[in-house]
Amino acid sequence: MTAGRRGAGLTAKWRIFTGLPAGLKALIGLSFVVALGSYMVTPFIGVLMVEAVGMDIRVAGVLVAVATFIQFGGSILGGAVVNRLGLKRTMVGALALRTAGLVLLGVAVKVPWVAYPAVVLVAAGPALYLPANKAYIVTSVSDDLRPLFLGVSSAALNAGMGLGPLLAALLIDADPVVLLVGLAGLFALITAAHQAALKPLARRPAAAPGTAAVPATAAAGAGGRTGKRAALRGALRPVLFTGLAFYLFFFFQSFIGLYAARISHVQVLGWVMLLNCAMVVLLQPVLADRIARADYRLLVVGSFVLMGLGMAAMALGGTPALLAGTALFTLGEVFLFLRCDLELVDRVPDDPAFAFGVQRLTAGIGGLLAGVVGGFVFAHYEAAGNLGAFWLVVAAQCAGAALLALLLAGGRRRPAAPEPPLPDPAPAEPAVAR
């Protein structure tokens, strides 16, 4: 009986997906291609700066750190840009910025000073694109379907993130100019596909049949701004735990490659990242409804505990320990990051692009702090010949985050969503901004 119900639920979700407007289905597919192309270059920017451009490794490190902060922290501007340009034009413009940045990176191989504006443009693209991408999705579906489709979107992005580095590893020995210009061409096509496939959305979803539509500017006055500030004050705890989650995640993302190279072989990194992304792809959409309804405190505490156990497993060294630790860490990531998205959007429901911009700003701050702190800690234990202790330090921080969540996170549950109705045979397109 349980298996039958589960199969019926999956069938219903599939029918909901197939009944979506063509533009939204295209965006989910394009999200995969964007992440694939992005992660063919993003993890290797430091290598390109040093090996192809000839930049000093210390300068390259600073440039990459600044680019990382721009890529995440710059998303706080996403809400303002969306308010001025709209969701579709923001995404198209952001992809054009990244295309231009990739062209300039190719030029920088011959003209090194061009690397500075090139890296900034490459980072600025996703800073604006990703908040608008997620906002387009949550604006296009009902509140009940937000968890499912944020999970599907995350799965598409993570699939691209997992496959991109593996594909790039096969091409990294090619002429860097050819590789970068080829990627620029890919992003030009992606930009054109967004322009052709997406409908301009109003800032609010269409009203239900038989009700009056809410004007897109209704929340733009002083009352709307006051409400946003009040909502953000209520979101301080979710923002805190989002920042902690990204701080701990960037220890994993930034230092797992160096650790793998020291104790095994850098090629292990490809399998580690593939496992990380594959688990998110396979688990997050399936568990989305349960993650949305779970007790907030228990979910956050449990997620940090799982992340800590994963870090402690990595301290054992060896490829099996790395893979087992990655699996535990990723399980915590699957639960935590989707719920962080949902909590922030729930608190700023009238401006999801702004909510996702705040989320990515906390990610940028967390990544910057993890890079600074982790660099010193990693160097200390490498000099001491005890790299495993690095992950024990990270595990201890995960335990501290879990304790903080136990004390401060409320036990709020999101209301259970009713069973979604099956789509009409010919669903209406999303609301078009007038």
Per-residue pLDDT of the chain (434 residues; tens, 9 = 90+): 455 555 555 565 556 656 666 778 888 889 999 988 888 887 677 667 777 788 776 677 678 777 878 888 777 777 678 878 888 999 999 999 999 999 999 898 888 899 899 988 998 888 889 888 888 888 887 777 778 878 888 888 888 887 887 777 666 666 778 888 889 999 999 999 999 988 876 544 433 333 333 333 333 444 455 555 555 565 677 788 888 998 999 888 878 877 877 777 656 777 887 888 889 888 888 888 899 889 989 999 999 999 999 999 999 988 899 999 999 999 999 999 888 888 877 877 777 777 777 777 888 888 778 877 887 888 888 888 888 999 999 999 999 999 999 998 765 555 554 444 444 433 433 333 32
CA distance 315 to 376: 17
d(CA 313, CA 323) in angstroms, rounded, equals 9
Distance, in Å, from the CA atom of 126 to the CA atom of 131, rounded to the nearest integer, reads 8
Q: Which two tokens stand for residue 326?
A: 């990655």
CA dihedral 55, 56, 57, 60 (to 10 degrees): -50
CATH 1.20.1250.20 domain span(s) along the chain = 15-203, 232-417
State how far the Cα of 146 lies from the Cα of 143, in Å rounded to an integer. 5
Could you give the dihedral angle defined by the CA atoms of residues 39, 41, 42 and 46, in that order, rounded to the nearest 10 degrees?
150
Q: The domain at 232-417 falls in which architecture?
A: Up-down Bundle (1.20)
Tokens of 276: 């990380």
> What is the three-class DSSP state of 44?
helix
User: pTM for the full model?
Assistant: 0.68
Place of tokens 């893979």: 323
**What is the residue type of 234?**
G
Return the sign of the alpha-carbon dihedral for residues 341, 343, 346, 350. negative
Instruction: Count how many residues are written for the chain.
Output: 434
Please provide the CATH number assigned to the domain covering 15-203.
1.20.1250.20
- Buried/exposed 183-221: b ≥16 CB within 10 Å, e otherwise: bbebbbebbebbeebbbebbbbbbeeeeeeeeebeebee
